Amino acid sequence: MKHARVIFEGREHTGVAHEFGGQSDAAVRLDDGRIVPQEQLTWLPPLAPTARPRTILALGLNYADHAKELEFKAPEEPLVFIKGQSTLIGHRQQTSPGFETLINTLVQETTA
């Protein structure tokens, strides 16, 4: 199931991906039951900010592609790295051009 954290009508909501207009995941079913097309939502980072900053562990599974681009041998095992919570952005949000940015979408795949 794909979960979302969004702003709609000036209020923060949580919800899950929902079918709309014959397309899967084209809308979000909000926590209050309303179904809202994605275009009407402002997407927030998947994790709400906390007073005590989080540490996010990331796994670089596409590191081999980067190594090939830079013409050096990739490590045998996946790369593990740390990101701060300030690197999170919402789905469809803009990043600063020219900087490498970790883009985490608001809609995430989770297992039940």
| pLDDT (tens digit per residue) in 7-16 | 999 999 999 9
Domains and CATH numbers, the chain: 1-46+103-112 (2.30.30.370), 48-87 (no CATH)
Sequence letter at residue 97: P
Quickly tell me which residue has 């079918």 as its tokens.
Answer: 19
pTM > 0.85: no
Quickly tell me which residue has 């990043």 as its tokens.
Answer: 95
**1/17 Cα distance (integer angstroms):** 7
* pLDDT tens digits for range 28-75: 999 999 999 999 999 998 888 788 777 888 877 666 666 777 777 777
The tokens for 77 are 């095992």
Using a 10 angstrom Cβ sphere, with 0-12 exposed, 13-18 middle and 19 or more buried, the burial of residue 41 is: buried
* pLDDT tens digits for range 19-34: 888 888 899 999 999 9
